[in-house]
Amino acid sequence: MHILLIKMSSMGDLIHTLPALTDALQAIPGITIDWVVEPAFSDIPVWHPAVKTVISLPLRRWKKNIFSRQTLTEAKIFYQQLREKKYDLIIDAQGLLKSMIIAKCARGKSVGYDKQSAREWLASFGYQQKYCVSKQQHAVNRIRELFSKALHYVLPTTTADFHIDHTKLPSLHFQLPEKYFVFLHGTTWDSKHYPEIYWQQLIEKSGAKNIAVYLPWGNDIEKQRAERLAKASPLAAVLPKLSIAQLATLLKNATQVVTVDTGLGHLSAALNTPTLSLYGPTDPKKIGMVGKNQIHLAVKFPCAPCKSRTCFYAKRYRTDISPTCFQTITPDSIAVYCLPD
């Protein structure tokens, strides 16, 4: 059986999809999957043994130069690749209008969420078969349920298995100590950021215990923050720019990861690395890190989880700590879990 999967981004969403592929592979031995994905995340699908081909869709780049000759040429090549095979089934696990359109362009029966379940309800009108999957459950479970209904097997009650093939992860070009922490300080929403002063205090505490701390980054703003944080301890180091695959190697071998709500945190959890995740405006019950050795620390604040990209409380009351809700998760409370006595 040959399936086309449409799940283009983001990193966390792609990682959430992997357990559904494991379920499908166990229920239908020999199933193969082609996966449509943004090129920035094309490393992730190949880690799973069910994935045969990765079809790259640079949609974000196309939007910036929508009428350029390069965009039109690349769009034509993508369309030809999409239409090359007739699939037994096309599963849109994204539930957006743009992903539905891609499903319609491919050859085969398309399935997806119904209008109560899709992220954009209009997308449901484009599928030949649609399924009701409750939004009141974790994202991992939602996708596992969608796959089980689309492929007609009983939804397993087993713990989610991401089935990441560690042999496909690259080696790093620098030597790692036997014991080290990774602090994932970068995220997309301002309201998800753990306060910088708290990161500094946590790095100081780690340094006092003689523990090395690595600080990865993905853009110039994150690099500048990492450089400021590294001043808190001589054992803290700003890493060079790493690919997602290289970061997976770094996270897989870490003693402990402390993370905000970000895609790399989900990757760390999927690798079963001991990971302590910090939640302010988002709800860990629906998008929390899934894997072995996981600890979720959610703020206890009147307006949390606010699901807002901006901390309006801090703006209104001009608090010293922003986002204000993180006052309820101090460096001392984190140290209890990850630093030895």
Distance CA 117, CA 316 (A): 35
Same fold, 2-165 and 169-338: yes
Name the architecture of domain 169-338: 3-Layer(aba) Sandwich (3.40)
What pLDDT does residue 71 have?
92
Q: What is the pLDDT of residues 110-158, one digit of tens each?
A: 999 999 999 999 999 999 999 999 999 999 999 999 999 999 999 999 9
Residues 6+ apart with CB under 8 A from 73: none
Whether residue 35 contacts residue 55, with contact meaning beta carbons closer than 8 Å, is answered with yes
**Per-residue pLDDT at 242 exceeds 80:** yes
pLDDT, mean of residues 244-271:
97
Identify the band that residue 170 occupies on the pLDDT scale cut at 50, 70 and 90. very high
**Per-residue pLDDT at 189 exceeds 80:** yes
Straight-line distance from the first to the last Cα atom of the chain, in angstroms, rounded to the nearest whole number: 54
Residues 6+ apart with CB under 8 A from 124: 95, 100, 112, 113, 114, 115, 117, 118, 130
What pLDDT does residue 337 have?
93
Instruction: Please report, for the chain, the start and end positions of each structural domain, with discontinuous segments joined by +.
Output: 2-165, 169-338
pLDDT, mean of residues 33-46:
96
**Per-residue pLDDT at 27 exceeds 80:** yes
Find where tokens 């039109």 sit.
72
Closest C-alpha to 138, from 6, 309, 266, 302: 266
What pLDDT does residue 193 have?
96
CATH 3.40.50.2000, domain 2-165, yes or no: yes
Closest C-alpha to 198, from 337, 332, 340: 332
What pLDDT does residue 302 have?
93
